Amino acid sequence: MGKRGFASDNNSGVHPAILKALSDANVGHAVGYGDDEWSARAINKFKEHFGNNIDVYFSFNGTGANILSLKTLSCSFNAILCADTAHINVDECGAPEKFTGSKLVPISTPDGKLTPELIKPHLHGFGFEHHSQPGMISITQVTELGTLYTIEEIKAITTLAHEHGMYVHLDGARIANAAAALNKSFKEFTVDAGIDVISFGGTKNGMMFGEAVIFFNPELSKFAKYYRKQSAQLYSKMRYISTQFLAYFEDDLWLKNATHANKMAGLLAEHIEQIPEIKITQKVQANGVFAIIPEELIPILQEEYFFYEWDENRSEVRWMTSFDTEEEDIVNFTKLIKQYFDK
Amino acid sequence: MGKRGFASDNNSGVHPAILKALSDANVGHAVGYGDDEWSARAINKFKEHFGNNIDVYFSFNGTGANILSLKTLSCSFNAILCADTAHINVDECGAPEKFTGSKLVPISTPDGKLTPELIKPHLHGFGFEHHSQPGMISITQVTELGTLYTIEEIKAITTLAHEHGMYVHLDGARIANAAAALNKSFKEFTVDAGIDVISFGGTKNGMMFGEAVIFFNPELSKFAKYYRKQSAQLYSKMRYISTQFLAYFEDDLWLKNATHANKMAGLLAEHIEQIPEIKITQKVQANGVFAIIPEELIPILQEEYFFYEWDENRSEVRWMTSFDTEEEDIVNFTKLIKQYFDK
Amino acid sequence: MGKRGFASDNNSGVHPAILKALSDANVGHAVGYGDDEWSARAINKFKEHFGNNIDVYFSFNGTGANILSLKTLSCSFNAILCADTAHINVDECGAPEKFTGSKLVPISTPDGKLTPELIKPHLHGFGFEHHSQPGMISITQVTELGTLYTIEEIKAITTLAHEHGMYVHLDGARIANAAAALNKSFKEFTVDAGIDVISFGGTKNGMMFGEAVIFFNPELSKFAKYYRKQSAQLYSKMRYISTQFLAYFEDDLWLKNATHANKMAGLLAEHIEQIPEIKITQKVQANGVFAIIPEELIPILQEEYFFYEWDENRSEVRWMTSFDTEEEDIVNFTKLIKQYFDK
Amino acid sequence: MGKRGFASDNNSGVHPAILKALSDANVGHAVGYGDDEWSARAINKFKEHFGNNIDVYFSFNGTGANILSLKTLSCSFNAILCADTAHINVDECGAPEKFTGSKLVPISTPDGKLTPELIKPHLHGFGFEHHSQPGMISITQVTELGTLYTIEEIKAITTLAHEHGMYVHLDGARIANAAAALNKSFKEFTVDAGIDVISFGGTKNGMMFGEAVIFFNPELSKFAKYYRKQSAQLYSKMRYISTQFLAYFEDDLWLKNATHANKMAGLLAEHIEQIPEIKITQKVQANGVFAIIPEELIPILQEEYFFYEWDENRSEVRWMTSFDTEEEDIVNFTKLIKQYFDK
C-alpha cells in the first residue's frame, strides 16, 4: 500500500461503490461502443441532472474529453482563449493544438479565473483572415488554482462570448467539487449559465476511469461521435464506464465524495492558517490548498506525504484532498509542519 | 443480462481474475501516470515475455496503441502500408491519418495478410519529394480475417522493410490468440522476427481495458511518452491497467483465455463445415469464423445471437469467439442454423 | 537555354502576354492580399466564365489549391475518394492528408477516370462512427493519364455524390486543355455538371504562377479565406497573380494555348501511331501521350529531350506537350524514334 | 495606379531589375521544381553570403518559409517560444500550430525583442511529459515593431537555447533591412551568432515573390524537402524564384533597396520628432515608424496615404517605408500632419 498524500485527487483509489458497480456489470455479453443498457441508463442520469436537451459522449480521460469538446465546436483557424494556468494549456502536452489545429491564447490571471475584462483585449481581428479567429473560451470549474467561479461570473463570460459568436467550454475535471462548494445543481452553473459544452470529470472524485463530454446544443454536436472515435476515445466495453456513472449518481455518491474532499481541504486550511509562517496563496474554495512554505520544509514533508511543488520560484506548494482523505491525514500532516516551526 | 453472441470478442465481459486484480489494487494512494509499483511490476512481466531491451507504454485502447506506435516511428511525409482490411485502415475513423498526418496505403489481399509480393509494387519513389515516402508497414496478427502469419512470413516482411529503411508495426489486438494458435512465445513472432513495435491487446481477451505499445528498439521510442500524452492516452490512475496486466500474465491467464477462444472457433467451424449450404471463406486459424450464408438466415440468427455481417454484397458474416464462449453457445447456434436448412 | 522536351507542361516558360501583364501591373502601390483593382477585375473575369454565384480564391500552386478545396468542404473524419493515379494521391507528398486530417481512398481505374460503378463499393458505413465517412469525391479533368471525362460522365458522378450528401472536387490543373478538347465552356462541365469546387490551373498553360479555387456554392466557402491563410497560400502582392489571370482570359489566351498544346499532342500521337513497335496506352484526348517503348530507347531519347518514365515495370513513358511546343519538336522527336527502329 | 502609402513594404511593386530577371529567365524549357541552372546558381549565391555548410529551400511566401523552418526542427509535442507580437503568433492565422501541431508560447515584450530574462521563466518542464517540451525559440529580425537585435543579443538567446537543447529560428522577412541597419553581413548575425534556421525574405524588399529557408546544420534538414512539398510550398517553375534571387544579390540590389527603405524611415522619424504632439513609440532602427497620433487625424491621413492602425486602444499607428518610398512621399505626408496641428 502506497504512501498517502495530497499530490492529486487522482492518486486516490476507487470508491467501493464504483468497484461494486464494475463487478455488477460483469454479466454476460453486451454490445460494444455504447449500445448497451448501462450506457442508455447512464445517459438518462445525465439528463436528470442537465436536462433533456443534451448530447453525451463518454471518454476515457480528461484530456480526451477536453479535445473532443474543443474540436467539435471549433475550426482549425480559431483561437481558443483560456487562463494561462488552464489544464488544456499547461498539462496536456499540446494535445489541444495537435487535435484541433487551433491556437491557444493563454491569458494571465491572478487566481485562475477569466473575467470579461481579461478576455476583451483578445477579442479582435474578427473577419481578418491573418488572425486566428477567436472562437472559443475555455474556463475550468473548480479552477486549477482551487478557486470557484460564481454563477454570475460564468454568465458574464458566456454572455460576452455569445455576443461575439463564440462558444464556451467548461473543463469540469472537478465539477463535483464545484457543485458541492457552490451548493448548486450542475445545471445551474453550466447550461443555465450559458455554457455550451462541458468536460464532466469522474476520475478525480472516486471513479476508476471515465469522463463525459456534454453538449448543451445537440445541433452543434452532430459530428462529435466521429471526433470521439478519431481521437481514440471511444471505449469498446463501454458498459464499464457507464456502470460507474450509474453508481456515481446513485445516492448522490458524487456529492458525498466531493463534499468530503472539500471539507478536508477546508480543515487543512484552518490548521495552516494558524501557522503564521505559512501564507495561503489562493482562496480555499474547494479541495485544493495552495501555500508558500519554507523551501527546506518541502522535502521533509514529502518523506511522509506525496504532494507537488506548484511554483518553485517562490516555494509554493499545492495540496489536494480527495474523497478518501481522512481527518487523521490532516492532523498528522499539520503536526509535521508545526514540529518544523517549533524546532 | 445481454444476449450472448459472436459479434466481437469485446462484447464479452471481464475475466473474474481481472476483476479481482482491480479490487486488490484498490488500496490507499498511488502516484499517478505510471510511477507506481503495479506498473513497475507489469513492465517487468512484459520483459519476461519480450526480453529486456523493450520500451513499454500502456494505453487505454487499441486505436490509441496503434496511433502511438505509428506516430513514434514515422513522420508526416511517410506512407504507411497495410492490408486494406486492416483495423487502422477501416475501423478507426481516420485516427491514424489525423494523428500522424501520414498517408495510409491500403493493399488488397485475399486473406488479410500482406506478402513481399503484394508490398513491393508500393516500394518506390524513395527520395522523390513528390511522393509520400514509404516509411512503415503495419500487419495484424491475428489478422482481421481470422488468419495467421507464420513466423517465416513475418520475417520475409520485416526483412524487406528493413532493406528499405522502413519499420514494421504489428497490430496485436488479438496477439494472444496468435501465440496460442502458433504455439509460440510472443517473442518468437515479434521481436525475434524483426518487428519494430507492437500494439499488445488485452481488452479482447478478458481484460476490462488497457493495451500496451512495446518498442523493440528503445533508441527509437525516446519521444513516445510525449506522443502518448499528446494523444490523450496517458491514464492517470495507471495502477488499474497495470494490475490487470499482472493478473493477465499470472498463471498464463492470457494463454488459457486465448486457447479457449480459438478452440471454440474451431468447434464452430467443425459444425459449420458439416452444413454443405454454408461456405467458410477464410481459414479458421484463431478465434474468428467467416462464412457466406443465405441472406434471409442472417436476421433469423440475429434474433437470438449478436453478430455482424462482414460483406453485405455477398452475404458474408463474421463470428467471433471469446474466452467466455461456451460449448453450449456453439451447439445451440449451429442447431439454429441446421433447423433453417432442415425446414 | 535548357533542353526542350515533353517532361511536363510546367517545364515550359511563361507566355509573353503574361510577362507583359506582370510588367504592366508594376506601377505604384497596391493594397496587399487581394484588395486591389487587378484582383477585383480578375474575379469578375472568373464570373464571366463561371457565373456570378461563385467564390474565388487565388493560390500559389496546384497543391495549395487542392488542399484548400478539400479542407473547406470536408471534416477530418471524412474520406475523400479519388482515382489512385490522382495528383492528390500520388504527387503531393501527403499534403491532403496532412492539411485535412482525412483519409484518402484511392480507387484503381483503367484510364484515370472514376465512374459510379467504381465509386459505389466505397459508399458504405455512413453514420457508422468507426469508418471514415465518405465526404468528397475528387476527379481530375484532364486526368493524370491524359484522358477526358464527358459532361455526362461528370454528371453521373456528381449525382451519385449528392445523393449521398457528398461534395465533388474537380482538380483542374489542366482544365483549359479539357475545355479546348471538349469544345465546351468551363461552366458546362463544372458548375453546370454539378461540381462543387474546382482547382483552376494556370501555371501549366503559360502562366508564371497562380491557380484559383472556385466554390460554386458560396454558402459552403465562408471559411475558405481562413483556410487559405492558414495553409500559407495567401499571396501578399496579389496583383501579380491577378494581372496574370487578366491576361490569361484576354483574347482567350488560355484557349489558344491549350488548343495548341492539345494539337501538338495529337500530332505526336499521329506520328507515333505509324510506328508499329510502339503502343499508345491511353486515349490521346488532350496534351499528353502515354506509350510503351523499348526500355533501351528511353535514355537515347532523353539525351536530347526531357521526359519521364511513367511506369518502369512496363517501360511506359509520358510525353506532355505545351503551349510552346513546336511542330519542329514533334518532327525531330519522332524522327529520333524512327531512326532507332530503322537501325 | 494605386494610392501610395506606408501600409506595408509589400504594398510596393517589384524592382525593375527583378522584373527584368524574370524576363531574362523566360527562355525555353527548364526542369521543374528546382533542378534548373538558375536555382543552382541562386543557391551558390546564398552560399557566398552564408557559407557553404547550408541547406537552402525556396518557398512562395513568408508564412510558408516559417512553417517549413519550424516543422523541420521540431516535433508536435514541442513548445515554440516567441514574442507575442511575432508574425508567427499573430499574423499567420494559426498556420504554425496547424502545420507543426506544436504549442506556441507567446511572451510579452516591450519592444518585440526576446531576451534571456524573458525566456527563462518558460524553460521548465523538460522531460515532464504533461508539458509541451520547449523545443524552439523564434525571433524576428527586424522585429515586427521595427526594432533590431544586436549580434550580442542574438548570441545570448542562441546560447541559452542550445544549453537547453533547443533550436533558434530567425524570421527574416526583413532581414535585408537588418543587415543594412546593422551594417553587418547576413552571416554575422545569423549562422555566426548561433542561429539554426532562418526565413530569408525577398518579397518585402523588391522581389515579386519568393523567400528562402536556410538551415545552418544540414544534418538537421534532411527531411525539409518533404515538408516543403507537403506544405504546398514547392514551386514547379522554380527558375522564376531563382532568377529573382540572382538579380536580388547582383550589385547588392538587396542592400541598396533596404538601405533606402531604412533611410526613408529615418527621415520620416526625423520629421515626426519635430511635432511635439506625436509620440514615437519604438526606436526607429530599420524601415518602420510606430507613433501615437490623435485618433481623428488617422482617417484624415488615410484619405491620401494607406497605412494601418497598430493598436486601436491607444491610437498607435505603423508607418512602413520601402525601396520605392520617395523623399517626396515623406515630405508630403508630414506636411499633411503638420497642417492638422497648425489648424
CATH number at residue A258: 3.90.1150.10
Name the closest residue on chain C to residue D34, using Cα atoms: C11
Query: Which residues of chain B neighbour C101 with C-beta distances below 8 Å?
Result: 94, 97-98, 101
Please tell me the predicted confidence (pLDDT) of residue A4: 82
Total Cβ atoms within 10 A of residue B150: 13
The rounded distance, in Å, linking the Cα atoms of C180 and C169 is 20
Interface contacts B/C by beta carbons within 8 Å? 60
Mean residue pLDDT across chain C: 96
Query: Which residues of chain A neighbour D66 with C-beta distances below 8 Å?
Result: none
Q: What percent of chain B has pLDDT over 90?
A: 96
Note whether C98 contacts B101, CB cutoff 8 Å: yes
HSE on the CB side for D113, CA within 13 Å?
19
Residue with cell 466531493: A258
Q: Which residues contact B299 (CB under 8 A, 6 or more apart)?
A: none
Among A2-11, B332-341, C10-19, where is mean pLDDT lowest? Answer: A2-11
List subunits contacting chain B, requiring 3 or more Cβ pairs under 8 Å: A, C, D
Please tell me the predicted confidence (pLDDT) of residue A1: 47
Query: Which residues of chain D neighbour A312 with C-beta distances below 8 Å?
Result: 124
Q: Give me the residue from D76, D130, D226 closest to B133, CB to CB.
A: D226
Q: Give me the residue from C91, C98, C130 closest to B93, CB to CB.
A: C130
The rounded distance, in Å, linking the Cα atoms of D185 and D50 is 9
What are C28's three cell numbers? 505604384
Are B38 and B32 a contacting pair, CB within 8 Å? no
Residue A197: asked if its preceding bond is cis (omega within 30°), the reply is: no
Domain boundary residue, one of C251, C280, C312? C251
Judge if D236 and D317 occupy the same domain. no
CA-based nearest distance A17→chain D, Å: 30
Measured CA angle at A292 (ends A287, A294), to 5 deg: 130
Judge if A80 and A205 occupy the same domain. yes
The rounded distance, in Å, linking the Cα atoms of C100 and C120 is 23
Report yes or no on B4 lying in a domain: no
Report yes or no on A7 lying in a domain: no
Query: Which residues of chain D neighbour A118 with C-beta distances below 8 Å?
Result: none
The rounded distance, in Å, linking the Cα atoms of C165 and A297 is 65
Note whether D10 contacts C237, CB cutoff 8 Å: yes
Name the closest residue on chain A to residue B15, using Cα atoms: A26
Q: Considering only residues D5 and C131, tell me which one the structure prediction assigns the higher pLDDT.
A: C131
Q: Is B173 helix (H, G, I), strand (E, B) or coil?
A: coil
Q: Is A189 helix (H, G, I), strand (E, B) or coil?
A: helix
H-type alpha helices, C51-85? 62-72
Q: Which among D268, D297, D227 has a CA at the least distance from the CA of D74?
A: D227
Residue A142: asked if its preceding bond is cis (omega within 30°), the reply is: yes
Are A243 and A25 a contacting pair, CB within 8 Å? yes
Note whether D91 contacts A130, CB cutoff 8 Å: yes
Judge if C136 and C182 occupy the same domain. yes
Note whether A93 contacts D313, CB cutoff 8 Å: no
Are B320 and B7 a contacting pair, CB within 8 Å? yes
Q: Exposure pattern of A109-143 as b/e (b: 16+ CB <10 Å)? A: bebbbbbeebbeeebebeeebbbbbbbbbbbbbbb
Note whether C230 contacts A130, CB cutoff 8 Å: no
Q: Give me the residue from C77, C223, C229 closest to A226, CB to CB.
A: C77
Report yes or no on C7 lying in a domain: no
Query: Which residues of chain B neighbour D77 with C-beta distances below 8 Å?
Result: 223, 226-227, 229-230
Residue D142: asked if its preceding bond is cis (omega within 30°), the reply is: yes
Note whether A102 contacts D93, CB cutoff 8 Å: no
Judge if A193 and A293 occupy the same domain. no
Mean pLDDT within C217-237: 97
Long-range contacts of A254-258 (CB under 8 A, 24+ apart): A254/A176, A254/A202, A254/A205, A254/A206, A255/A176, A255/A179, A255/A180, A256/A323, A257/A15, A257/A176, A257/A205, A257/A206, A257/A323, A258/A174, A258/A176, A258/A177, A258/A179, A258/A180, A258/A181, A258/A205, A258/A287, A258/A323
Report yes or no on B83 lying in a domain: yes
Please tell me the predicted confidence (pLDDT) of residue C288: 97
Q: Residue C109 is part of a domain; what is its CATH number?
A: 3.40.640.10
Q: Give me the residue from C27, C30, C95 closest to D11, CB to CB.
A: C30
Are D13 and C26 a contacting pair, CB within 8 Å? yes
> Exposure of B208 by Cβ count < 10 A (0-12 exposed, 13-18 middle, 19+ buried)?
buried
> Exposure of A51 by Cβ count < 10 A (0-12 exposed, 13-18 middle, 19+ buried)?
middle
Q: How far is CA B221 from CA B60, B99, B227, D113, in A?
A: 19, 17, 10, 36
Report yes or no on D9 lying in a domain: no
Count of structural domains, chain C: 2
CA-based nearest distance D23→chain C, Å: 7
- Characterize the bridge pairing of strands C288-292 and C316-320: antiparallel
- Characterize the bridge pairing of strands C279-280 and C308-311: unpaired
Q: Is D150 helix (H, G, I), strand (E, B) or coil?
A: coil
Query: Which residues of chain A neighbour B223 with C-beta distances below 8 Å?
Result: none
Q: Which residues contact C17 (CB under 8 A, 6 or more apart)?
A: C247, C250, C253
Judge if C263 and C146 occupy the same domain. no
Interface contacts A/D by beta carbons within 8 Å? 60
Query: Which residues of chain A neighbour B7 with C-beta distances below 8 Å?
Result: 29, 31-32
Judge if C53 and C167 occupy the same domain. yes
Note whether C31 contacts D236, CB cutoff 8 Å: no
CA-based nearest distance A60→chain B, Å: 7
Q: Which residues contact A17 (CB under 8 A, 6 or more apart)?
A: A247, A250, A253
Judge if A245 and A129 occupy the same domain. yes
Report yes or no on C3 lying in a domain: no
Q: List the single best residue of C102, C129, C235 to mutate versus A (max A Cβ within 10 A).
A: C129
Name the amino acid, one letter, at A293: I
Q: In what order do the strands lie in the sheet with A288-292?
A: A279-280, A288-292, A316-320, A308-311
The D-side interface with B (CB below 8 A) comprises: 33, 75-77, 101, 129-130, 133, 223, 225-230, 234
Write out residues in chain A with pLDDT < 50, as ranges.
Answer: 1
The C-side interface with A (CB below 8 A) comprises: 33, 75-77, 101, 129-130, 133, 223, 225-230, 234
CA-based nearest distance C44→chain B, Å: 34
The rounded distance, in Å, linking the Cα atoms of A182 and C252 is 72
Judge if A82 and A177 occupy the same domain. yes
Q: Is A207 helix (H, G, I), strand (E, B) or coil?
A: coil
The rounded distance, in Å, linking the Cα atoms of B180 and B261 is 10
Helix, strand, coil percentages in chain D from 3-state DSSP, rounded to 5: 45, 15, 40
Name the closest residue on chain D to residue C68, using Cα atoms: D232
Domain boundary residue, one of A251, A281, A300? A251
Domain residue limits at C73: 16-251
Q: What percent of chain C has pLDDT over 90?
A: 96
Note whether D209 contacts C237, CB cutoff 8 Å: yes
CA-based nearest distance B248→chain C, Å: 28
Judge if C187 and C288 occupy the same domain. no
Report yes or no on C106 lying in a domain: yes
What are C285's three cell numbers? 484526348
Please tell me the predicted confidence (pLDDT) of residue A2: 60
What are A180's three cell numbers? 458541492
* A179 alpha carbon, distance to own chain's centre: 12
Q: List the single best residue of B72, B76, B235 to mutate versus D (max D Cβ within 10 A).
A: B76
Please tell me the predicted confidence (pLDDT) of residue C2: 60
Judge if B232 and B275 occupy the same domain. no
Q: Hey, CA dihedral for A304, A307, A311, A317, is it positive or negative?
A: negative
Report yes or no on A92 lying in a domain: yes
Judge if C127 and C215 occupy the same domain. yes
Name the closest residue on chain B to residue A63, using Cα atoms: B232
Write out residues in chain D with pLDDT < 70, as ranges.
Answer: 1-2
Q: Exposure pattern of A210-245 as b/e (b: 16+ CB <10 Å)? A: bbbbbbbeeeebebbbbbbbbbbbbbbbbbbbbbbb
H-type alpha helices, chain D? 16-24, 37-50, 62-72, 87-90, 95-100, 116-119, 151-163, 175-182, 224-230, 239-249, 253-273, 297-302, 327-342
List subunits contacting chain D, requiring 3 or more Cβ pairs under 8 Å: A, B, C
Cα Rg for chain D, rounded, in angstroms? 20
Examine the pLDDT at B2 and tell me if it is beyond 70. no
Instruction: Work out the pLDDT band at B1, boundaries 50, 70, 90.
Output: very low
Interface contacts A/B by beta carbons within 8 Å? 178
CA-based nearest distance C163→chain D, Å: 32
Judge if B325 and B242 occupy the same domain. no
Query: Which residues of chain A neighbour C133 with C-beta distances below 8 Å?
Result: 226
The A-side interface with D (CB below 8 A) comprises: 76-79, 90-94, 97-98, 101-106, 121, 124, 129-133, 312-313
Question: Can you give the pTM of this predicted structure?
Answer: 0.97
Are B231 and D76 a contacting pair, CB within 8 Å? no
Examine the pLDDT at B320 and tell me if it is beyond 60. yes
Total Cβ atoms within 10 A of residue B102: 25
Query: Residue A322 — left, alpha, or beta (φ > 0 → left; ψ -120 to 50 → alpha)?
Result: beta
Q: Which among B161, D104, C171, C242 has a CA at the least distance from the CA of A79?
A: D104
The rounded distance, in Å, linking the Cα atoms of C158 and C175 is 17
Q: Give me the residue from C129, C225, C230 closest to A225, CB to CB.
A: C129
In the DSSP assignment, the letter for residue D246 is H
Name the amino acid, one letter, at C332: N
Q: Which among A92, A81, A192, A96 has a CA at the least distance from the CA of A134?
A: A81
The rounded distance, in Å, linking the Cα atoms of C98 and A268 is 50
pLDDT in tens, C104-115: 999 999 999 999
Q: What is the DSSP string of B277-300?
A: T-EE-S---SSEEEEE--TTHHHH
Q: Which among A321, A300, A326, A305 has a CA at the least distance from the CA of A8?
A: A321
Q: How far is CA A337 from CA A266, A289, A291, A301, B342, in A?
A: 17, 15, 12, 7, 82
Measured CA angle at A93 (ends A88, A96), to 5 deg: 45
- Backbone φ and ψ of C131, nearest 5°: -110, 130
HSE on the CB side for A67, CA within 13 Å?
31
Mean residue pLDDT across chain B: 96
Please tell me the predicted confidence (pLDDT) of residue D3: 73
pLDDT in tens, B306-317: 999 999 889 999
Instruction: Work out the pLDDT band at C1, boundaries 50, 70, 90.
Output: very low
Note whether A75 contacts C133, CB cutoff 8 Å: no
Q: Is D138 helix (H, G, I), strand (E, B) or coil?
A: strand
CA-based nearest distance C129→chain A, Å: 5
The rounded distance, in Å, linking the Cα atoms of A157 and B214 is 45
The rounded distance, in Å, linking the Cα atoms of A238 and D234 is 46
CA-based nearest distance D59→chain B, Å: 15
Domain boundary residue, one of D224, D251, D278? D251
Total Cβ atoms within 10 A of residue A342: 6
